[in-house]
Amino acid sequence: MSDALANGPAPAISVRELCFSWPKGEQVLKSCSLEVPKGEFWMLLGTNGSGKSTLLRLLAGLLQPNSGEIRVEGQMGFVFQNPDHQLVMPTVGADVAFGLVEEKLSFGQVKTRVREALAAVNLEMLERRPIYALSGGQKQRVAIAGAIARHCEVLLLDEPTALLDPDSQLDLVAQVRSLVKSRAITALWVTHRLDELNYCDGAFLLEQGELADKGDPERLKGRLLAL
């Protein structure tokens, strides 16, 4: 355990000396180690191609590492950069319910979970709305509601604001912060936008596949602005 975390909460996400290369490609992640304490909201920063999405996919088990250890405690939810790659059903309510098909729930339990999850992201009025009629920010909130309905304890978000305008961007990050805090969810949010750093408890900086820095968001922001 790192010194910074020695007296804090146990990590919900823990990565040790993680290495990953694409077949026949160069090494994308070079011995990365990081920990996200339970219930905290951390961000992962880095320029395009630095390996952020690869790291998130490894955490989600969508890719296998070449070496190293990954431990994620609890039910995991994943939010992709482009919600059109994630939302599969015709309406808001049906999409959130779709994520529950593997759980043995009654019709009434599914309804309750869907309503609670939509209320958590302020979309309860849009349960019957077709997905195509939503804004980008609303689609991202439906994707997040899907994870909340499954009672996720760890939420991984890969540049969820990349396709949003600046107002919706900061609305989304503020809403996700208050949501994960009120539910003690551990979140790792990938971004390259420095103004989002104001909302996190801590941040990691990835540079060409190496974890170049981690810790206090204000300090990291200063470092990045000085580049």
Ligand X SMILES: Nc1ncnc2c1ncn2[C@@H]1O[C@H](COP(=O)(O)OP(=O)(O)O)[C@@H](O)[C@H]1O
158 DSSP β-pair partners: 190
Q: Given the complex with ligand X, which of 14 and 54 has the nearer CB atom?
A: 54
The rounded distance, in Å, linking the Cα atoms of 105 and 107 is 7
Q: How far apart are CB 52 and ligand X at their closest, in Å?
A: 3
Q: Could you tell me which stretch among 22-30, 53-61, 168-176, 210-218 binds Mg ion (CB under 5 A)?
A: 53-61
The rounded distance, in Å, linking the Cα atoms of 133 and 114 is 19
Q: Given the complex with ligand X, which of 30 and 52 has the nearer CB atom?
A: 52
Give the number of residues written for the chain: 227
Q: How far apart are CB 210 and Mg ion at their closest, in Å?
A: 16
Residues with Cβ within 8 Å of residue 182, at least 6 apart in sequence: none
Q: How far apart are CB 86 and Mg ion at their closest, in Å?
A: 15
Which residues would be at the binding site for ligand X (CB under 6 A)?
22, 25, 28, 46, 48-54
Q: How far apart are CB 209 and Mg ion at their closest, in Å?
A: 13
Which entry of ligand X, Mg ion, none binds 152, CB below 5 to 8 A by partner kind? none
Q: Given the complex with ligand X, which of 22 and 132 has the nearer CB atom?
A: 22
Which entry of Mg ion, ligand X, none binds 99, CB below 5 to 8 A by partner kind? none
Q: Could you tell me which stretch among 51-59, 65-73, 143-151, 178-186 binds Mg ion (CB under 5 A)?
A: 51-59
What is the CB neighbour count within 10 angstroms for residue 192?
Answer: 17
93-122: contacts with Mg ion (CB under 5 A) = none
Phi, psi dihedral angles at 210 (to 5 degrees)? -115, 145
The rounded distance, in Å, linking the Cα atoms of 120 and 69 is 33
What is the CB neighbour count within 10 angstroms for residue 51?
Answer: 23
The rounded distance, in Å, linking the Cα atoms of 8 and 37 is 7
59 DSSP β-pair partners: none
Q: Given the complex with ligand X, which of 62 and 125 has the nearer CB atom?
A: 62
What is the CB neighbour count within 10 angstroms for residue 88?
Answer: 12
Q: How far apart are CB 126 and Mg ion at their closest, in Å?
A: 28
The rounded distance, in Å, linking the Cα atoms of 135 and 155 is 22
Q: Does 53 interact with Mg ion (rule: CB under 5 A)?
A: yes
Q: Does 161 interact with Mg ion (rule: CB under 5 A)?
A: no
Q: Does 191 interact with Mg ion (rule: CB under 5 A)?
A: no
Task: Please report, as ranges, the residues that interact with Mg ion according to CB under 5 A.
Answer: 52-53
